[in-house]
A and B are shown apart, each in its own frame.
Chain A
Amino acid sequence: MLLEGFATAAQPEYLLYALLGVTLGTAVGVLPGIGPAMTVALLLPLTYTLEPTAALIIFAGIYYGGMYGGSTTSILLNTPGESASIVTALEGNKMAKAGRGAAALATAAIGSFVAGTIATVLLTLLAPVIADLAVQLGPADYVALMVVAFTTVAALLGSSPVRGLASLGLGLFIGLVGTDTLTGQQRFTLGVATMSDGIDVVVVAVGVFAVGEALYVASRLRHGPIEVIPVGGKWMTRGFWARSWKPWLRGTFIGFPIGTVPAGGADVSTFLSYAAEKKLSKRPEEFGKGAIEGVAGPEAANNAAAAGVLVPLLTLGLPTTATAAVIVAAFQSYGIQPGPLLFTNNGPMVWALIASLYIGNVMLLVLNLPLVKIWVKVLQIPRPYLYAGILLFAALGTYAVNFVVDDLIVLLVIGVIGFFMRRHGYPVAPLVVGLILGPMAEEQVRRTLQISEGKLSALVTSPFAAVAYSILVVLLVVAVVLRLRRKKSEVTV
């Protein structure tokens, strides 16, 4: 199956799409202010003219590429950035300042490659098995999975559970607008005709990511020259390999499982990997001053988690990060529902997609090591033009969905909401996940209750659902205990 996928993905046309995807992905990863979620959302309408396989190969490339590009930024730019790569910034930035930028970039890129490849192998092996098991899940089990995803994305991650849940609620509300699929009733359309089709996911994602971010950055824009640290030092020495390969492997095996379960994607895995490397290191005193292990481990974990996220995405149709949510929207726009039947119904396409991940990883290694100088130039784009460009393409991407001006009004409103959310610590990822998963969750709840003829107990009596809820309760208890402990230690300090 995978071989057939390679046969498809290796056709020159698809290779070109993969190259386009990883190049775009790296570029947006390098540029501050744009993330992979936003890029996929922006390109969504532009790919309607492409066939689904080609479009998904581009999106997969953007997804992986964004991870590589982000590390370049956090190593070379003198300011903190993207949450997933903050840990890299800690050590990588110190290394760059100490004139060892080349080694930091190399361990990040090669580590990403090693982790990405191993994790893609794991994805290849695991996904069909899980899909086979998932076929037996009933609607109540899906409800349980979605409740777990909602809770972890909104309440367990991030500093304020209340604000995360509020963000989730806003996303769920936007998802309600439109025509009810089961009864054909209009909901929350305010009598506006264009609202009866619902609010387009692209418009919301672009609004909250692109317009919200641009307004937020503009409100407190860092003026003056952009300080990029010059790349210095030797690329790879013998000590480099000796100190890097173990953190790469450890990072991979920390990152992949964390990405796979709906428990928070990349951030958590990078922190765990960093802590592990610090503990295991023979030279813990170097940490905080530019330890190469502190770059190698988290970078590998970051990429492995990104591949792990694809497991629930492809086999259960369950997005656990904002980017994954937008990719689900991409599938849906082609009338394809990711989930257990994906491998049976769209086998050739999925395998071509997975094969393109292997190919994309190789391309990214080439793009990010020898060509890193180009990306450093990209980093230096003057900010007024960068954010003006983001606004222009946000408006274009939105307008190109339906060619109606009404969508731009929605874009602006949601952009302003996104701006205020950023100012007050409301995470935006739960909003996007809620928007995509909300309608699916409602449908499954109603199906469960239709089958059980209204007995609410049907939602929890399936063994799988019962186990899922139990695990969730344990997770919540652990989170509360940790929070209380932290508070206590703060008080004693």
Chain B
Amino acid sequence: MIAAKVEEYAFGGLVAAVGVFTLVDATTIAGRDDNVVGPRAFPYAVGILLVVTGIAAIIATARGKLGQAEEAEDVDENVRTDWLTVAKLVAVLIVHLVLIDVVGWPVAAALLFFGAAWTLGATWWRALPIAVVLALLVQVVFAYGLGLSLPAGIFEGVPFLDG
């Protein structure tokens, strides 16, 4: 309960901080005087909206009005937040975006699918072949079906995979 409150304060603070940034950074936008309303007016309005709502969210939290977490079919309301899983998924996404330009899309994509499925509880020897087949399939469909070539990386020059 306390942890949830700290998080709510932090998110409200983040919203307000984005607002402050908007207001401060808006002053640096070069404006032209001949325009009745220049490029700065709207950013100021958005900045004020963010600061006000951010502070209001913090006040609401302080008064005990916490936000209701969203419901979804696959969400179990009775379990605690599994931060480790979230961190692993974020890490898998980072590995994916770093590897695209290094080893190519098919390998990076297979690792993304395999990593995510495994993290979420799939058996590794079942997830691995599915990941590889799916990544290669998408690569071929993109190259030949849509005429868009994803970087082939280590498969460069390989027929079907390098579009």
Query: Which residue numbers of A lie inside 8 Å of B, CB to CB?
Result: 32-33, 46, 49, 73, 77, 79-82, 159-160, 162-163, 165-166, 168-170, 172-173, 176, 180, 182-183, 185-188, 211, 213-223, 382-385, 387-389, 391-392, 395-396, 399-400, 403, 405, 408-409, 412, 415-416, 419-426, 438, 442, 445-446, 449-450, 453-454
Residues in B neighbouring A383, C-beta threshold 8 A: 74, 120-121
Query: B68 touching A425 by the CB < 8 A rule?
Result: yes
> Given that A183-B31, A221-B120, A400-B148 are contacting pairs, would A388 and B113 also be in contact in the complex, using a CB cutoff of 8 Å?
yes
Query: A77 touching B22 by the CB < 8 A rule?
Result: no
Return the chain B residue nearest A442 by Cβ: B42
Residues in B neighbouring A453, C-beta threshold 8 A: 36
Tell me the bound Cα distance from A106 to B97 in angstroms: 45
Query: A32 touching B72 by the CB < 8 A rule?
Result: yes
> Given that A213-B72, A382-B122 are contacting pairs, would A218 and B22 also be in contact in the complex, using a CB cutoff of 8 Å?
no
> Given that A163-B57, A183-B32 are contacting pairs, would A219 and B42 also be in contact in the complex, using a CB cutoff of 8 Å?
no
Residues in B neighbouring A79, C-beta threshold 8 A: 73-74
> Given that A187-B39, A220-B82, A396-B138 are contacting pairs, would A162 and B69 also be in contact in the complex, using a CB cutoff of 8 Å?
no
Query: B112 touching A392 by the CB < 8 A rule?
Result: yes
Q: Which residues of B, 32-50, contact A by the 8 Å Cβ criterion?
A: 32, 35-39, 41-43, 46, 49-50
Query: A218 touching B86 by the CB < 8 A rule?
Result: yes
B residues contacting the other copy or chain, number (CB 8 A):
85
Residues in B neighbouring A395, C-beta threshold 8 A: 93, 96-97, 109, 112
Distance in angstroms from B99 CB to nearest chain A CB is 10
Q: Which of B93, B109, B131, B147 contacts A412 (CB 8 A)?
A: B93
Q: Which residues of B, 104-154, contact A by the 8 Å Cβ criterion?
A: 105, 109, 112-122, 127, 130-131, 134-135, 138, 142, 146-148, 150-151
- Given A162-B56, A183-B31, 20 other A-B residues pairs in contact with their CB atoms under 8 A: A160-B65, A169-B46, A173-B50, A180-B29, A182-B35, A187-B26, A187-B29, A187-B43, A216-B75, A218-B119, A383-B120, A387-B120, A392-B109, A405-B101, A408-B100, A412-B90, A423-B7, A424-B66, A424-B67, A426-B67
Residues in B neighbouring A159, C-beta threshold 8 A: 68
Tell me the bound Cα distance from A389 to B76 in angstroms: 20
Q: Which of B39, B93, B97 contacts A185 (CB 8 A)?
A: B39
B89 within 8 A of A: yes
Main secondary structure of the interface of A (DSSP, over half): helix
Tell me the bound Cα distance from A81 to B74 in angstroms: 8
Distance in angstroms from A409 CB to nearest chain B CB is 7
Tell me the bound Cα distance from A102 to B151 in angstroms: 48
Tell me the bound Cα distance from A162 to B35 in angstroms: 33
Query: A424 touching B7 by the CB < 8 A rule?
Result: yes
Return the chain B residue nearest A179 by Cβ: B39
Q: Which of A168, A385, A419 contacts B86 (CB 8 A)?
A: A419
Return the chain A residue nearest B98 by Cβ: A405
Return the chain B residue nearest A415 by Cβ: B93
Residues in A neighbouring B72, C-beta threshold 8 A: 32-33, 81, 213, 216-217
B54 within 8 A of A: yes
Query: B67 touching A392 by the CB < 8 A rule?
Result: no
Return the chain A residue nearest B46 by Cβ: A172
Query: A215 touching B89 by the CB < 8 A rule?
Result: yes
Query: B112 touching A220 by the CB < 8 A rule?
Result: no
In the A-B complex, the 5 residue pairs with the closest CB atoms: A425-B67, A32-B73, A384-B120, A388-B116, A166-B53
Distance in angstroms from B21 CB to nearest chain A CB is 8
Query: A391 touching B89 by the CB < 8 A rule?
Result: yes
Tell me the bound Cα distance from A442 to B115 in angstroms: 43
A-B contact pairs, 29 of them (CB 8 A): A32-B73, A33-B72, A49-B148, A79-B73, A80-B71, A81-B71, A162-B53, A165-B53, A169-B15, A170-B50, A172-B46, A173-B46, A180-B29, A183-B38, A213-B72, A216-B75, A217-B75, A219-B82, A220-B80, A222-B74, A384-B119, A387-B120, A388-B115, A388-B122, A391-B112, A396-B138, A399-B150, A424-B8, A450-B35
Return the chain A residue nearest B105 by Cβ: A399
B60 within 8 A of A: yes
> Given that A388-B113, A392-B113 are contacting pairs, would A454 and B37 also be in contact in the complex, using a CB cutoff of 8 Å?
yes
Tell me the bound Cα distance from A426 to B69 in angstroms: 8
Tell me the bound Cα distance from A33 to B22 in angstroms: 33
Query: B134 touching A392 by the CB < 8 A rule?
Result: yes
Tell me the bound Cα distance from A33 to B74 in angstroms: 8
Return the chain A residue nearest B123 by Cβ: A384
B11 within 8 A of A: yes
Distance in angstroms from B115 CB to nearest chain A CB is 8
Residues in A neighbouring B57, C-beta threshold 8 A: 162-163, 166
Tell me the bound Cα distance from A399 to B101 in angstroms: 12
Query: B89 touching A221 by the CB < 8 A rule?
Result: no
Return the chain B residue nearest A426 by Cβ: B67
Query: B121 touching A223 by the CB < 8 A rule?
Result: yes
Query: B67 touching A163 by the CB < 8 A rule?
Result: yes
Distance in angstroms from A22 CB to nearest chain B CB is 20
Query: B29 touching A185 by the CB < 8 A rule?
Result: yes
> Given that A80-B73, A391-B112 are contacting pairs, would A385 and B7 also be in contact in the complex, using a CB cutoff of 8 Å?
no
Tell me the bound Cα distance from A73 to B39 in angstroms: 47
Query: A420 touching B11 by the CB < 8 A rule?
Result: yes
B2 within 8 A of A: no
Q: Which of B36, B96, B115, B121 contacts A408 (CB 8 A)?
A: B96
Tell me the bound Cα distance from A165 to B16 in angstroms: 12
As a 0/1 sequence over residues 1 to 38 of chain B, the CB contacts with chain A under 8 angstroms (1 = contact) are 00000011001100100110010011001111001111
Residues in A neighbouring B41, C-beta threshold 8 A: 445-446
Query: B49 touching A425 by the CB < 8 A rule?
Result: no
Return the chain B residue nearest A175 by Cβ: B46
> Given that A166-B57, A387-B120, A388-B122 are contacting pairs, would A173 and B113 also be in contact in the complex, using a CB cutoff of 8 Å?
no
> Given that A165-B49, A424-B69 are contacting pairs, would A183 and B127 also be in contact in the complex, using a CB cutoff of 8 Å?
no
Tell me the bound Cα distance from A391 to B93 in angstroms: 8
A159, A170, A215: residue with the most chain B Cβ atoms closer than 10 Å: A170
Query: A384 touching B39 by the CB < 8 A rule?
Result: no
